[in-house]
A = this chain, B = another copy of it.
Amino acid sequence: MSALQTTRIVLAARPHGEPVAADFRTETVAVAEPAPGQVSLRTVYLSLDPYMRGRMSDAKSYAAPIQVGDVMVGATVSQVIDSRDPSVKPGDHVLGYTGWQTHAVADASAVRVLDTSRAPLSASLGVLGMPGFTGYAGLLKIGRPVSGETVAVAAASGPVGSAVGQIARIHGARAVGIAGGPEKCAFLRDELGFDAAVDHRAPDFADRLREAAPDGIDVYFENVGGPVTAAVLPLLNTYARMPVCGLVSQYNATAVPAGPDRLPGFLSAVLTKSLTVRGFIQAEFVAEMHADFRHDMATWIAEGKVRYREDVVDGLENAPSAFLGMLRGENFGKVVVQVAPAAL
């Protein structure tokens, strides 16, 4: 049997501003045999998520940057080819973090065997995975909506935002979704049951948002920044909470933006409205909440209380362009790359 090879996409250069195709490079290399305690894997699905943009830069952040020449990071669903650990069997499907490549070797302790009878494999990368948990933990630990309050969230048709809005409704809050374009807004209202949906591309966006939140906003789940934040700020109520899990609108910025300086006004709002602004990474809450999350979310999906949409991209070679499109908001639902069929 010939040695296993992997085709992988590596970081060719650190992007300056919006990443371009030349920042990625595809290469094919041999994969080592699994050592004792390891498994060899065939990637089925690769998750694309906005945080990856941060990892491409070398600015200090909560996670170390990807080095130039390294494979792009990312969560994956894979099928086990070979296993040298008793906890994992060949043919199993596992959740791992093997990145933008077709094959990999990983420690068995770094993967989790998936129960394929409970949910589609790809859901482990979205509604039942890191993005869904980000929405769940940030909303419930920091946002803490109570019945009758209003929760606003941007990128609302994406995997984090759609979880936030639907969980808000489960807790009795009014869910206001913000998304780009009428199609996504209709989806939020008609498919996900949001109380209101507002198109941030509309010229009268700020007015529409105000109409959609007649009692103000008690929780703004921040994942975009930029003009959406500016429109939300005047609507925040006293004691409003603002979990900050992402700022996708500014990830490609190359310089400190021109004025006016909006920080003093932001801090004034924090002061005069007794706001709580709290950045977080979902990992902070895994030990405390992930078991509850898996139980709750699986229950809600089974009951039809949480629905989700995926934007499936075919083929690893299309990952870079799909990633760039996602940073521009061109995706519609959770972006997953189908790298190979689920079973051979």
On A, residues with C-beta under 8 Å from B are 54, 60-62, 222, 225-226, 229, 238, 244-247, 250, 253, 256-281, 284
Contacts and interface: CB of A to CB of B under 8 A. Distances in A.
Copies of this chain in its oligomeric complex: 2
B274 A276 contact: no
Contacts of A250: 264, 267-268
A21 to B, nearest CB: 26
Contact of A261 (B247, B261, B274, B277): B261
Contacts of A275: 277-279
B268 A261 contact: no
Contact of A62 (B244, B247, B265, B274): B274
A261 B257 contact: yes
Contact of A225 (B61, B267, B274): B267
A257 B276 CA distance: 24
Give me the 7 closest cross-chain CB pairs, A-B, nearest first.
A259-B259, A270-B279, A256-B260, A262-B263, A277-B277, A271-B279, A257-B261
Contacts of A262: 256, 261-263
A271 to B, nearest CB: 4
Contacts of A226: 264
A327 to B, nearest CB: 15
Nearest to A264: B250
Given A225-B264, A226-B264, A259-B259, 10 more contacts: A62-B238, A62-B273, A229-B263, A244-B270, A245-B271, A256-B264, A257-B264, A270-B277, A276-B279, A277-B277
Nearest to A142: B276
A134 to B, nearest CB: 12
Contacts of A245: 271
Given A225-B264, A247-B264, A261-B261, A284 B274 contact: yes
A284 to B, nearest CB: 7
Given A265-B256, A266-B266, A272 B222 contact: no
A92 to B, nearest CB: 34
Contact of A264 (B253, B278, B281): B253
Contacts of A270: 244, 277-279
Given A263-B266, A278-B276, A244 B256 contact: no
A238 to B, nearest CB: 7
Given A267-B222, A268-B250, A277 B276 contact: yes
B247 A267 contact: yes
B247 A271 contact: yes
Nearest to A283: B274
Contacts of A271: 244-247, 279
